[in-house]
Amino acid sequence: MITVTREQAIANARRVLDRARARRDALPIREAAEQAAVGSFRSADEIELILRRLHRDARAEQATAPTAPVARAA
């Protein structure tokens, strides 16, 4: 039997989740919407609109967010 420490199990789970998020985030918006619509009460079109709005909002936040060195200096 292989014993894994709690810390190692958490690190392994984090790695798996990070890889899954990276794959999800690399999908084109339409493809992500179609996948998310499977088993959902929302249509792929609705989800695509939501995703596009979220992407737009995130870009706007990045554009207005202070950079790390400037934030540290404040």
What pLDDT is recorded for position 73?
56
Residue ranges, the chain, pLDDT below 70:
68-74
Give 60-73 pLDDT, tens digit per residue.
Answer: 988 887 775 655 55
Those residues whose C-beta lies under 8 Å from the C-beta of residue 5, and which sit 6 or more positions away, are none
Domain that holds residue 42: 6-65
Q: Is 39 contained in some domain?
A: yes
Q: Is 14 contained in some domain?
A: yes
Q: Is 70 contained in some domain?
A: no
Give the phi and the psi of residue 6 in degrees, each rounded to 5.
Answer: -60, -45
What pLDDT is recorded for position 72?
56
Q: Is 57 contained in some domain?
A: yes
Q: Is 40 contained in some domain?
A: yes
Report the number of distinct structural domains present in the chain.
1
